[in-house]
Amino acid sequence: MMSSTADLGPLHVVDYSPGVCNIGPAEIARRRMAGHLGLLASVVVLAALVAVGAPHWTRLVLVLTAGVSASGYLQAWFHFCAGFGSRGVYNFGPVGTVQEVVDPAARARDRARSMQIGVGSIAIGAAVAIVAALLPI
């Protein structure tokens, strides 16, 4: 029989760990939903641009929607909210409640992870946008 942590993803962390995990299951589900919505928005925007015959370079706008999608999925995957990490808080309870990270070293690790997620999201969004712009459709 699988443990209840099997549904949490690859890290199986169930408590705050600086730079590693700062959100629990409810917050993870919200980040995953943001990823789904960003993906849906990316598909809709690309389809609309293709349907109206917009110039290929206009597809670069997908950097925004694909970046949002990537951010949501990365945060869900890593069990780490970039916004919380930047603000120095974490949440393993109900959505909307947070606790402060008081240790300066832990806050620094959280900020570094937040930056990694942000840069990764932008890079993924840019890659998706460039590929979409190069598609011959």
List, for residues 98-115, the tens digit of each pLDDT value: 999 999 999 999 999 999
Tokens of 135: 């598609």
10 pLDDT above the threshold of 70: no
Confidence class of residue 79 from pLDDT cuts 50, 70 and 90? very high
pTM over 0.85: yes
Task: Measure CA of the first residue to CA of the last residue in the chain; give whole Å.
Answer: 48
